[in-house]
Amino acid sequence: MYSQGLIGADGSTVETEEFLEAFQKRVDAEQKIEPNDPMPEGYRRTLVRQISQHAHSEIVGMLPEGNWITRAPTLRRKAALLAKVQDEGGHGLYLYSAAETLGVSREELTDQLLTGAAKYSSIFNYPALTWADIGAIGWLVDGAAIMNQIALCRCSYGPYSRAMIRICKEESFHQRQGYEILLTLCRGTDAQKKMAQEAVNRIWWPALMMFGPHDSASTHSDQSMHWKIKRFSNDNLRDKFVNATVPQAEYLGLTVPDPNLKWNEEKQGYDYSDIDWDEFWRVVKGDGICNRDRIKARQKAHREGAWVREAALAFAEKRAGAADAARTAAE
């Protein structure tokens, strides 16, 4: 989600030196920027792009998991998965609201998602093939998301930072429920453990891709770091995630699908293989396994909800009209 949101972001801006300097001073003093504060156009544009992509990611992220709600193996798992998917819907709405404080309308944002003009995290263009994938998504995908989002809690833009704090608080259960699913499978039959291993094999690399391109290829990072929209580099967060996650995989008795993964005593962290960047860019640019399905599913939901939105507005108008008429009659 998250750092991928900056791909193609245009931070160019037209303000005077004095204006930019005064703004930078506020940012450097760790003063939060609020909706009506003066801000460079490039800052506004970058944030709208990142926050709305983050919101779209939450909404599209409901699809691969929602697909498993009816097939969860127990009532406990079903209730947890339902709550997780509900949270994602809620998180999408917090984030859309944060984006709207920058002067863009909800309708425009929805339109950008449905027409394919806006991006969302590449991870959701992979399918969730087995129940173990639901475990691996919770553990790895939400784990990677949390790693990104904790860093965003200190973003210079107030509404985004506040939404992130709320989301991080709610999301820690997402990762734990995923890990618990895998733990149960790993303690089960050989076939169940195999299913868990295959899920991790599928989801490990796409999860690492969530942190976005290499720092050297992340062209818009510098300006965003300078404005404190993001505060850590993509590679820095990715390393942190790998270091935190490998011991958790060991505890499960699962193998991380990377023959070059090795502890490096000197840097006190893991060395690992390079990501398949061709795959990364292919998925980001729309050619992943599920890109078309995801957009189609959102378009269908939007189309089929149109009559509800129209009816609700018509009813509200009618009632407001009746109230006005009653007031006029009483006067």
Partner 1 sequence: MSEKFTPLWEVFIRARNGLAHKHAGSIHAADAEMALQAARDVYTRRGEGQSLWVVRSDQIVASDPSDKDMMFEPTASKIYRHPTFYEIPEEVGNM
Min dist. Cβ of residue 263 to partner 1 (A)? 38
Tell me: does residue 100 bind partner 1 (CB under 8 A): yes
* Residue 154 binds to partner 1 (criterion: CB under 8 A): no
Region of 103-111, 115-123, 136-144, 254-262 interacting with partner 1 (CB under 8 A): 103-111
Q: Does 58 bind partner 1 (CB under 8 A)?
A: no
Q: How far apart are CA 230 and CA 120, in angstroms?
A: 17
Q: How far is the CB of 166 from partner 1 (least distance, A)?
A: 8
How many residues line the site for partner 1 (CB under 8 A)? 26
What is the rounded distance in angstroms from the CA atom of residue 241 to the CA atom of residue 147?
A: 7
Residue 264 phi, psi dihedral angles, 5° rounding: -110, 105
Q: Does 69 engage in binding with partner 1 (CB under 8 A)?
A: no
What's the min distance (Å) between Cβ of 89 and partner 1? 8
Q: Which of 21, 111, 215, 324 binds partner 1 (CB under 8 A)?
A: 111
d(CA 148, CA 141): 11
For residue 84, the minimal CB distance to partner 1 (Å) is 11
In degrees to the nearest 10, what's the CA dihedral of 294, 179, 234, 49? 30
* Residue nearer to partner 1 on the CB measure, 78 or 282: 78
Q: How far is CA 152 from CA 20, 139, 156, in A?
A: 22, 20, 9
Encoded tokens for 286: 């729309």
Give the other-Cβ count within 10 Å of 248's Cβ: 16
Tokens 């999301």 -> residue: 171
Would you say 129 or 320 has its CB closer to partner 1?
320
215 in Cβ contact with 221 (< 8 Å)? yes
| Contact of 87 with 145, CB cutoff 8 Å | no
Give, as ranges, the residues between 300 and 319 that touch partner 1 (CB under 8 A): 306, 309, 312-313, 315-316, 319
Q: How far is the CB of 313 from partner 1 (least distance, A)?
A: 5
The contact set with partner 1 (CB under 8 A) reads 34, 36-38, 83, 86-87, 90, 93-94, 97, 100, 105-108, 111, 163, 170, 306, 309, 312-313, 315-316, 319
